[in-house]
Amino acid sequence: MIILRSIADTRAALDSWRRRGQTIALVPTMGYLHEGHMSLVDEAKKRADRVVVSIYVNPTQFGPNEDLDKYPRDFARDEACCRARGVDAIFYPDNAVMYCPDHSCWVTEESLSQTMCGAARPGHFRGVTTVVLKLFNITRCDVAIFGRKDAQQALIICRMVRDLNVPVEIVVAPLVREPDGLAMSSRNKYLSDDERRRALSIANGLNQATALFAGGQRQAAALCDLVKTGIANAGGNIDYVVVMDRDSLRPLATVDRPAVLAVAAFFGKTRLIDNVFLD
Amino acid sequence: MIILRSIADTRAALDSWRRRGQTIALVPTMGYLHEGHMSLVDEAKKRADRVVVSIYVNPTQFGPNEDLDKYPRDFARDEACCRARGVDAIFYPDNAVMYCPDHSCWVTEESLSQTMCGAARPGHFRGVTTVVLKLFNITRCDVAIFGRKDAQQALIICRMVRDLNVPVEIVVAPLVREPDGLAMSSRNKYLSDDERRRALSIANGLNQATALFAGGQRQAAALCDLVKTGIANAGGNIDYVVVMDRDSLRPLATVDRPAVLAVAAFFGKTRLIDNVFLD
């Protein structure tokens, strides 16, 4: 496994694979890898001859009052995880490699990004689409794997690829949970033991709502209320609990088409997101 | 020479060239081709094995009160010009091919695009960068050729390529003039005989300013005033006459570094642009 720190080295290494006719899958991450990321690596290995994991805590997707500085980082552990899982290369740039001092070009998505995490975190998705397009252009990957925990992000990336004709196939892989149901996230590290226990109310609420939906409930408000009550009872601070059309991310009053029930809530200072599909 | 109307056909044709190891140059145009465009084709032929000309009057770079509807179009003539000049393919999409009804992703440049034509034509450069990135992604060209008449556009495209790590080499080819000095432009067709004669004041003013600069004048105001006076005396309606730093497009009071003296002016309803470099 090779560690690539510069764009020139990355292009040279990946071009040499391409010249041998090998296809390349990219797994973009911010590091502090967990089993959710590793499931993306497994998916990548099925889809291409070579797997590149990018590890970059992208500053442009963090707001001024967010957790950029304290976002967890452990490159040695990430490197070991990738090596053990059969990753071919890690692209591990620093900020000077990724952004010129007079950087002035951005990719913006102006519809799907207006709601949910986009409404709560202004500029977040502009940072995401910009850095992801940069990573696609640097690696010229054939396929890229994203996790469904960030459902809105995955939808926005798919929209970017469609609208800008980006020649990359996007695969959205299933959400991976801890044994007790908590959606895996690098930010779970922030949780105290008590917060960790109470945060389970998110996954439990989504489970109960899924059961209610399976039982025939089609009113979005009833499904959301169930989730909200559980989180509130556990002392969580709700950012949003919404039922959205799964293509347009427009709110649904009645679940009469493929939908996503999505949550963002704080436990302590930690913002967690989770979602289930309603079919 | 092949005419490509769909993205799938374009990708298939260009992939077959790539598989044979051939490189591809793109000349993006809005059609109604003139000798300025053809000089870009000549440059493209020097730079790559295959030359693709795109012909697309991109609606998203026109403002609501601009000349989208009456922009001159003559595909039969364009096709003959390209065939005669040895172009390999024309990519000639319609709007439905280029933009989905719910298109929502854009490429924006937020520094260089704030002045000159960007100030006069809000949204213009967002349309340009977006469509150019789409054309790059559709063709996956190795190199793309732009004309220096649109000096600000060329600079913004170079910035986009840098900031988004677009794997395309940008070549900016010299401005081509009519025998009497008028910068070639598809929009020259709009000019009446009288306007055409009076519009020469732009190129004449730039020539005089170049001579003044060569004679030692370094004050931007003096250079601009000379150009402004000539255009005003010819009955032109000036949008801007500016001297800008050639890298940052920031205005210069004193020409103490590579600069561009750039003009936009109306003759009748026709907006013309032109520029000279000051070295």
Q: What ipTM does the predicted assembly reach?
A: 0.96
| Cα atoms in the 13 Å half-sphere on the side-chain side of B180 | 8
Q: What is the predicted pLDDT for the residue at B104?
A: 98
Q: Domain range for residue A256?
A: 186-278
3-state secondary structure A212-230: HHHCCCCEHHHHHHHHHHH
Are B216 and B120 part of one and the same domain?
no
Domain assignment present for residue A179? The answer is: no
Residues of chain A short of pLDDT 70, as ranges, are none
Q: Tell me whether residues B104 and A163 touch, CB distance under 8 A.
A: yes
Q: What is the DSSP letter of B182?
A: P
User: Looking at the structure, do residues A204 and A153 belong to the same domain, yes or no?
Assistant: no
Residue contacts between A and B (CB atoms, under 8 Å): 79
What is the dihedral sign for C-alpha B26, B31, B32, B36? negative
Which of B105, B137, B160 is closest, CB to CB, to A105? B160
Nearest beta carbon to residue B108 from set A11, A106, A159? A106
Residue identified by tokens 């850095």 is A131
Residue A235, pLDDT score: 98
How near does any CA of chain A get to the CA of B223, in Å? 29
| pLDDT classification of B118: cutoffs 50, 70, 90 | very high
Q: Are residues A76 and A107 in the same domain?
A: yes
Give Cβ neighbours of residue A146 (< 8 Å, ≥ 6 apart). Answer: A28, A40, A153, A154, A157, A170, A171, A172, A173
> Is there a single domain that holds both residue A85 and residue A119?
yes
B143 and B194 housed in the same domain: no
pLDDT digits (tens, 9 = 90+) for B47-105: 999 999 999 999 999 999 899 999 999 999 999 999 999 999 999 999 999 999 999 99
Query: Band of the pLDDT at B43, cuts 50, 70, 90?
Result: very high
Listed by number, the residues of chain A in 81-110 with a beta carbon closer than 8 Å to a beta carbon of chain B are 100, 102-110
CATH number of the domain enclosing B152: 3.40.50.620
Would you tell me the crossing angle of helices B7-19 and B124-139 to the nearest 10 degrees? 50
**Options B37, B85, B134, B198, the catalytic residue:** B37
Query: B110–A104: do the CB atoms touch at under 8 Å?
Result: yes
Residues A231 and A274 in one domain: yes
Residue A181 lies in a domain: no
Report chain B residues whose CB lies below 8 A from the CB of A134.
163-165
Is B158 touching A (CB cutoff 8 A)?
Answer: no
Residue B164 to residue A137, Cβ atoms within 8 A: yes
Q: Searching chain A, which residue's CA lies closest to the CA of residue B158?
A: A105
User: Mean pLDDT score of chain B, rounded to an integer?
Assistant: 97
Same domain, A196 and A95: no
Say if B256 falls within a structural domain. Answer: yes
Which one-letter amino acid corresponds to residue B242? V
Is residue B162 domain-shared with residue B121, that is, in the same domain? Answer: yes
pLDDT at residue number B19: 94
The contacts of residue B233 (CB under 8 Å, 6+ apart) are B201
Q: What's the pLDDT at B27? A: 98
Last-in-domain residue among A123, A145, A173: A173
Domain check: are A144 and A205 in the same one? no
Known binding residue A159? Answer is: no
Whether B181 is in a domain gets the answer: no
* CB < 8 Å from B in window 231-270 of A: 248
> What's the rounded mean pLDDT across residues B171-189?
97
Amino acid at B55: I
pLDDT for position B161: 98
Q: Please tell me the distance from the alpha carbon of residue A183 to that of residue A214, in angstroms, as a whole number.
A: 21
Q: Based on the structure, what is the number of domains in chain A?
A: 2
Contacts of B163 in chain A (CB under 8 A): 100, 103-105, 134
* Cα B131–chain centre separation: 13
A178 in a domain, yes or no?
no
> Which residues lie across from A263 on neighbouring strands?
A241, A274
**Domain match, A30 and A94 both:** yes
Same domain, B193 and B260: yes
Q: Locate the chain B residue with the closest alpha carbon to A166.
A: B137
Q: What number of other Cβ atoms are within 10 A of residue A92's Cβ?
A: 18
B194 & B147 share domain: no
Chosen domain end from B173, B200, B230: B173
Write the pLDDT tens digit of every residue in B231-259.
999 999 999 999 999 999 999 999 999 99
Is B32 annotated for ligand binding?
yes
CA distance A97 to A232: 43
